[in-house]
Amino acid sequence: MTYQLHYWPTIQGRGEFVRLALEEAGAAYVDVARGDGDDGGEEALMADMAAQDHPPFAPPYLVDGDLVIGQTANILLHLGLRHGLAPKAEAGRLWVNQLQLTIADLVAEAHDVHHPVGMGLYYEDQKPEAARRAREFRTQRMKKFLGWFETVLERAPKGGWLTGEDLTYADLSLFQAVEGLRYAFPHAMKRLEPRIGRVIAVRDRVEARPNIKAYLASPRRIPFSTEGIFRLYPELDPV
């Protein structure tokens, strides 16, 4: 069975968390809006989304047979169970979902740095506000989020992953969060990384997974850009 992933075709964005899970699992999937056919492109994406009986509020959404699943963390909850990327027992599944939802909060804040007062406006229309928000994000929020993941890893059972011995989709997502923050806030990350060694070790181990390594080297991995969620605007990340 081939999954259909529906997401904006030109950015990593929230869809990337789903792509990483599908790639690690070696699952067959089509990234529909990136295709050349009638289903490709943003217009077809919006039309398909609006026509669903269970219309997602926004991309990404995943079609798995009869299921149409929206919200990134919800898609991962489903894929985690299907592909052994989350514990089978309830307690572990809830904990991994909790980790993922906390990454979702971090991602939303990383987005709001460049869109603090209007998501319908351009960054260029809210630069002074973005500068204020970026200051707090760089000096407090990034530390708080990544410091929290460091604590989680400190207290985890041995094994080096967020839940101990087994990789979960939350580890893949933490990799993506670190990559996004490194792209958007290289100077702030350089200062922070010495204090989050366990987080960086998870990032490195994810990068070394064979399926992930192949994916990152493939054209399927879209580069970071100032169209995505994590954006490099040098004025928001002073030396």
Q: Which residues bind its own copies (CB under 8 A)?
A: 53-57, 66-67, 69-71, 73-74, 77-78, 90-91, 94-95, 97-98, 101-102, 105, 108, 112, 116-121, 126, 129, 132-133, 136, 140-141, 145, 148, 151-152, 155
User: Shortest approach of its own copies to residue 68 CB, angstroms?
Assistant: 9
Minimum distance from residue 218 beta carbon to its own copies (Å): 29
Pick 102 or 176: Cβ nearer its own copies: 102
Q: Which is nearer to its own copies, 119 or 201 (CB)?
A: 119
201, two tokens: 């070790």
Measured CA to CA, the distance from residue 169 to residue 97 in angstroms comes to 9
**What is the C-alpha separation between 225 and 183, in angstroms, rounded?**
9
CB of 7 to its own copies, least distance (A): 15
- The closest of 173, 208, 180, 178 to 193, measured between CA atoms, is 178
**Main-chain phi, psi angles of 162, to 5 degrees:** -60, -30
| Closer residue to its own copies (CB): 57 or 194 | 57
Per the DSSP assignment, residues forming a β-bridge with 161 are: 164
Q: How far is the CB of 34 from its own copies (least distance, A)?
A: 23
Q: Which is nearer to its own copies, 30 or 131 (CB)?
A: 131
Nearer of residues 41 and 92 to its own copies, judged by Cβ = 92
β-pair type (61-64, 67-70): antiparallel
CB of 115 to its own copies, least distance (A): 10
Of 145 and 224, which has the nearer Cβ to its own copies? Answer: 145
Enumerate residues 6+ apart whose C-beta is below 8 A from 190. none
Nearest to 141 by CA among 185, 101, 96: 185
Tell whether omega for the bond before 60 is within 30 degrees of 0, i.e. cis.
yes
How far is the C-alpha of 87 from the C-alpha of 81, rounded, in Å? 8
**Cβ 19 vs Cβ 27: under 8 Å:** no
In the complex with its own copies, the residue whose CB is nearer, 93 or 221, is 93
Please state the closest distance from residue 61 (CB atom) to its own copies, in A.
Answer: 9
Q: Check if the beta carbon of residue 45 is closer than 8 Å to that of residue 6.
A: yes
The residue with tokens 């990234």 is 31
State the minimum distance, in angstroms, from the CB of residue 153 to its own copies.
12
